[in-house]
Structure formats: C-alpha cells, structure tokens
Amino acid sequence: MSKSYEELMGALGRAIFFRPERRRVRDLLSRDAQPQLLVEGQEYPLFDLSMNGVSLISRNGIKHWPIGTELELKLLLYDKEVYKGRARVARVESGQKAGTRIAFGLTNGFLDLPEILRQDEEGRLENQLRFGPEYWRTRIPKALQEATSRAVHFLHFYRQTLDRHEARYKAPGGGGSDAIAALEQRALAALRGPWSEIVRAASRAALECLNDREVLAAAKEYTENLVTQVLLVCPMLRRAYTKPLGYSGDYQVMLYTYNNTFEGDSVFARVFHKIGVEHPLSAGIRTRKDFVVKLMEREHERFLAVEKDDPVFRITSLGCGPAREASDFIQCRKSWPGQVVFTLVDQEEEALSHAFHQSQRQIHATGANAAIQCLNLSFIQLIRDPSRVPIEHPQHFIFATGLVDYLREMTAKVLVRALYEQLAPGGLLALGNAIGPNDHFWSPEFLLDWTLLYRTREEMLRLAELLPETAEVDVVLEPGGAYHFLVVRKR
C-alpha cells in the first residue's frame, strides 16, 4: 500500500531514545479486520497503535478524559480479543475534523504487532475462503465492472496479438529488429486512442466508488487483480505499483516519464509502457517541467534587471526528484552575470545523487556559474515543521511540482506559509498540483494504487489563505492542462 507523504520517513533517523513506531490502523490492518477498541466497555474508533499505546477518535460532543486518567482497554479483531489491560491517557489533540484524538499509553502488557498482523492475515484468509470474491464484487458498481472487463479483454487480446507477431518477426527471415520496431509504432498508433477511451469510461464509472471507503478498497483490489497484473511487464507501471521507495512517484518513475520512450522486454510491454508515459498526468510532468524552467528564466531576468553588483540568484526545489528543471535551466541558459545557487531538497539519497550528477554535468559542459547543494530531508520532518527547512539565505524562486498533491489542505496551507517566509522580497513561489476533477484518474488510483489529491482552481487558492494580504496570489494552468500552479509573489 502506498504511504502518504506525511508518513514517509526518508532520511529521518531513529531518536537516541527508542520510541515504538505508531501505525495508522487503515495502513496496518486489512479492511476485513474491523478492529474494535473498547474503553471501559464502550467502543471508540481506533486511529493508530504501537507496541505500547493506542489512540482513538472521540466524536464531537463526547467528553474526553483528563490526561493521566487510567482506564481499562480491550482490543478485538474479528470479534476475538487480542489485548486486555490498563492504559493511561497520555495526550489529547483537539481540532480533528472527525472529533478529538486521544492517545493512551499502556500501563501493563504490550501490543504484539507481529502477532496481531498474523491474526489479521489468518482472519482475512478465513473470510476469503468463506465468502470468495463475489461478496465484494457484487458491491462494485456495474458500470465499473463492465469498464474493467473491457480493459481486461483489450489487454489480453493485444498481448496475444503482439506476442504472436513479435515471434513471427524474430524468426529467421521475419524481418528482425526493424520489423519489430515498426510493429511497435503501428501498435502504438492503433491502440493509444481506444485505450484512452477505456480509461475515460472507467474513470467516469469509478466516481461512484469515492463516497464509500470499503467499496473503493474493493474496487481497487478488483482492478489490481484483473488489470494491473497484466501491465506489470511495463517498467514504469511496475515501478509505480510496487513502490520500492514507499511511494509511486519516485525519481525513477519521473525518469521514465521524462524519457518518454519504448521500454520493456516485449513489444506488448514497450507499447503499454509508452502509453503509460503518454497518460495526461505523465505528459503533464514534462510540460510542467518546461513551465517551471521558463518561470526560472523569467525570474532570473527580473532579478538581474535589479541586482547589478555580483548578483547571486537562489533557487530551491522541494521534493526535487531527478531535478530536471535545474539541469535543463543550466543547459538552456549556459551563462549569465553573477551566480545561480540551486538548493535541491528530497528525502531519497538516490534521487539527490542523480540530480547532483546531472546538474554538475551541465555545469561542466556549459561553464555556467552555478552551484548545487543538496539537502537530504525527510518529508515527515518537513511537514511537521516546515519552518525548519535549513535554507541559509532568502530564496528568489522556490518551487515544488510533485509534493502538494499528496498533502491534506491544512498541511499544505502551513507549508505554503512557511515557504513564503523563506522568499526574498520580490521572490516567487510556485507549487504544482494535479487538476480536479479530471476524467483519467482511474489509471493512477485504481491501476497503480497511486493516490493524489486533485484540486480545482478554487481549492488551490484556498492553500494561500494563511498568507499576508500583501502577497500577490494567482493560480495558472501549465501548458499541458494537467496541473494547476499556485503562484505567489512576495512584495
């Protein structure tokens, strides 16, 4: 399961004093587990748990216990008791939309998480053997079942077709690599339109699932079992789905998208990999990169028009990934008065290593007066306290292209305010977010378990509500029409 950016630890190390990790219930346990947390015999929604504690949600209007109160707790999975003991109220956090969050520390015993996970798997197996797939399939909207069936048939039909003709061309006298390359082009031209129509139909049908978490989970599992498994031969789709770094949109997925080529071990794999990197959101990654590079160039020219004496133009890329914006800027501009200093921030060392290497390569090739510094900072550190991003100087241009569409609204608002405070007077902040609504979200959400928070123009404007009135705020659509950008200038 994909983690949200708020959960990604990245470079964050363990504290000197060990503290058991808390896990969100929805990420730790299956939907079949239906955990029940009883406090003094009354059931409450379980929020998270660790080896030595739990937290719950107390609904609005329900009086919570004072900190330090000791109570009896009982935790059940599949109606079977997995813990019974005493716990003390350790923390109360008000302001949750669903109510007040109350954290308990266990005063006797502990939660054996490996054993709890084992019991969850055993209970899930029992349910699956008893009910089979029909129990959940019948809850999935008929229109989505039909769209999924159409997608499965389409993929299997063309996998067999392309495999057969690829083998024919590989045979002696069959035409070899030239014939196979031509087959890829013919197949792409023939299939991209029909597959795009299937995606749009599935996206329309999937809208109904978004209002029910259980139906959504069932529909995604249904899609992954039937459709995703066929497409795992495609490198970009496999990487996004298996999430080796914990989330879908890692730097290697971005590189596949930037490359925009045929990749894979068969014609079928290469064609549908190419269709994947041509998806509107994938194509938008390329056009938003070009959009940001042009913003950089414009802001640099604006800066140079004012700063004449040994100017240093400072740029920060947050969640930089492969940082193609930096290397492309250097490649395009080649030289300039003064210096440009890039600060590249990401939680993955692999991403920063790639970004640093490619940017340095362009500096060497062009002779540009630029400096690259990399900050290996976990997203959880950044989001918990955005003001602590260790940027030494006020920045003239700060941007993030693939971070905000993973953040809940309040988290994003706090981040926007913190980044605005890091701007130099006259500086510009640009934050991208996938547009909502759109008619192609089925591919990332249902095929790849790649959850994004799609936002309208009005929702993007709301992210600037914590900024001072003097901030100049606008929302613009990048040329590909796939991503909004919140653009803020500090007067």
- List, in order of start, the domains of the chain with CATH numbers: 5-132 (2.40.10.430), 135-278 (no CATH), 282-489 (3.40.50.150)
> What pTM does this model have?
0.82
What is the pLDDT, as a whole number, of residue 62? Answer: 62
In Å, what is the CA distance from 153 to each residue of 59, 158, 187, 368, 387? 46, 9, 16, 53, 51
Residues 165, 463: Cα–Cα separation, whole Å: 52
Lowest mean pLDDT among 147-151, 158-162, 212-216: 212-216
Half-sphere exposure of 332 (CA within 13 A, CB side): 15
Does 17 have pLDDT greater than 60?
A: no
Query: What is the band of 31 on the pLDDT scale with cuts at 50, 70, 90?
Result: confident
* Average pLDDT of the residues in 223-237: 97
CB crowding 378-414: b at 16 or more within 10 Å, else e: bbbbbbeebeebebeeebbbbbbbbbbbbbeeebbbb
Residues 190, 185: Cα–Cα separation, whole Å: 9
Give just the sign of the alpha carbon dihedral 121, 127, 133, 136.
Answer: negative
Does 15 have pLDDT greater than 50?
A: no
What is the pLDDT, as a whole number, of residue 34? Answer: 85
Q: What is the CA radius of gyration of the chain?
A: 25
What is the pLDDT, as a whole number, of residue 60? Answer: 59
* Angle ∠(270,275,276) on CA atoms, nearest 5: 95
Give the pairing of strands 423-434 and 395-400. Answer: parallel
- Mean pLDDT computed over every residue of the chain: 90
CB neighbourhood size of 428 (10 A): 22
* Average pLDDT of the residues in 408-416: 91
The residue type found at 318 is L
* Average pLDDT of the residues in 361-388: 84
What is the pLDDT, as a whole number, of residue 13? Answer: 42
* Average pLDDT of the residues in 432-457: 96
Higher pLDDT, 243 or 387: 243
| Proportion of the chain above pLDDT 70, given as a percent | 91
Residues 70, 81: Cα–Cα separation, whole Å: 20
What is the pLDDT, as a whole number, of residue 18? Answer: 44
What is the pLDDT, as a whole number, of residue 421? Answer: 94
* Average pLDDT of the residues in 485-489: 98
Q: Please write the tens of the pLDDT for every residue from 235-266.
A: 999 999 999 988 899 999 999 999 999 999 99
Q: Please write the tens of the pLDDT for every residue from 44-101.
A: 889 899 999 999 887 655 667 899 999 999 999 998 999 999 999 998 887 545 568 8
* Average pLDDT of the residues in 16-26: 67
What is the pLDDT, as a whole number, of residue 63? Answer: 66
Q: Is 35 helix (H, G, I), strand (E, B) or coil?
A: coil
User: Tell me, what DSSP letter sits at residue 288?
Assistant: H
What is the pLDDT, as a whole number, of residue 3? Answer: 53
Beta bridge partners, 86, equal 72
Does 390 have pLDDT greater than 90?
A: no
Query: What is the band of 30 on the pLDDT scale with cuts at 50, 70, 90?
Result: confident
**φ and ψ of 81, to 5 deg:** -70, 125
Query: What is the band of 151 on the pLDDT scale with cuts at 50, 70, 90?
Result: very high
Does 380 have pLDDT greater than 50?
A: yes
List, in sequence order, the alpha helices (H) in 171-262: 176-206, 213-223, 229-231, 235-242, 251-259
CA dihedral 439, 282, 273, 235 (to 10 degrees): -120
